[in-house]
Structure 1
C-alpha cells in the first residue's frame, strides 16, 4: 500500500504519543506502517524533516484563539495564543520537546511565533514584537517541557512526586506579559 505524506505524518504523531520522541525512529515508523524505512524517504529527506512535519501538524491541530489582533487588547490575544499553545503541547507525549526543538533548529513550527508577532505588532509593540514573541515562546516551551517531564517521570515511577494542585503557568505568563508592558511603556 502506498502512503501519502499526510498518512505518514498522522502515523508518526500516533507513534510519538505511544512511544515518545526518543523512540520515534524511521525504522519504528516504517514498521508501524508496514513498509521498509527507506520508503519513508520518498516523503521526507531525513528524520529532521519528518519531525518538522509532525510539529507543524501538531500546531495545525491547535485550538488557536478566535480573537484576532485588532479585535481585542493585545494582552488578551497574546495570552490566548500562549495558553492554547501550552495546552496543545501537553496534549501529545513529548509534544513540547518536539515543537520547541523543531522551532529552535529553524526547521518549522513557526505558526506560534508568527501569531505572536502579529498580535504584538497590532498592539503597537513594533519593533519589540520579534523579541517579545521569542521571549514568550521561551517561557511557554520551557514551562511545558518542565510540566511534561515531571508528569512522565512521576507516571513511570522515576520520581516520587505528587501531582501539583495547580500549574503556575498563568502566573508566570502574566509576569512575562507585564514585563513586555513595562518595556513598551519605557519606549
Structure 2
C-alpha cells in the first residue's frame, strides 16, 4: 500500500501519542504503517524532517478559525492555540520546542506573533523579542504542565497560564505604546 505524506504524518501523530517523542522514529512509523523504513525516505529525508512535519501538523490541528479585533486578542488566541495544541498530544511541548529550536518546523506561531506586534506598531526589534518572549512563556508553561503529568490542563493550570500571559501582554502593550516615540531599548543588558 502506498501512503501519501499527509497520511504518514497523521499516523506519526498517532505514534507520538502512543509512545512519546523519544520513541518516535522512522522505524517505529514504518512498522505502524506496515511498510519498510526505506519507503518513508521518499517523504522524509530523515527523522528530523519527520519531526518537523509532525510538529507542523499538531499546530495545524490546533488552529481555530476566528476574526480578531485587537492585536492583544490575536496574541492571546495564538498563545491559547499553541498551548492547547501541545497539551492535546503526548510530549507536545518537548516536540514543538525541539523542532522550533532547530529551525525546521513549528515556526508559524512565532511568525504570527511577530506579525501581530508589527501591525500594532511595534518596531522590528520589539516585535521579534516580544514574539520570542511569548513563545518561550507558552513553551515553558506547557512543558512544566506536561512534565507534571497529573493535573496538567486543570483549571488551576489554565488560571496560572492566563495570569502569566496577561502579565506578558501588559508589558508588551506598554512597550508597543512607547516604541513609536523612541527606539526600543531593552532595560536589561548583560
Q: Determine whether 1:39 maps to 2:39.
A: yes
After superposition, the C-alpha distances for 1:144-179 in whole angstroms (9 at most, x for unaligned) are 11101111xx4xxxxxx8996511101111111112
Q: Determine whether 1:147 maps to 2:139.
A: no
Whole-angstrom CA distance in 1 between matches of 2:12 and 2:60: 15
Alpha-carbon distance, 1:99 to partner:
1.1
Paired residue total: 176
- Which residue in the other structure is 1:97 paired with? 94
TM-score, normalising length: structure 2: 0.86
Whole-angstrom CA distance in 1 between matches of 2:72 and 2:5: 37
Q: What is the aligned-residue RMSD (CA, Å)?
A: 1.8
CA contact (8 A) 1:17 1:93 kept: yes
Q: After TM superposition, where is structure 1 displaced by more than 3 Å over at least 4 residues in a row? A: 161-165
Alpha-carbon distance, 1:184 to partner:
2.5
Alpha-carbon distance, 1:52 to partner:
0.2
TM-score, normalising length: structure 1: 0.87
- Which residue in the other structure is 1:157 paired with? none
Whole-angstrom CA distance in 2 between matches of 1:64 and 1:162: 21
- Which residue in the other structure is 1:166 paired with? 156
Whole-angstrom CA distance in 1 between matches of 2:78 and 2:152: 29
Q: Determine whether 1:136 maps to 2:126.
A: no
Matches within 5 A, 1:1-150: 1-64=1-64, 66-68=66-68, 72-127=69-124, 128-150=126-148
CA contact (8 A) 1:65 1:77 kept: no
Whole-angstrom CA distance in 1 between matches of 2:153 and 2:14: 25
After superposition, the C-alpha distances for 1:74-116 in whole angstroms (9 at most, x for unaligned) are 1111111111110111001111111121111100111111211
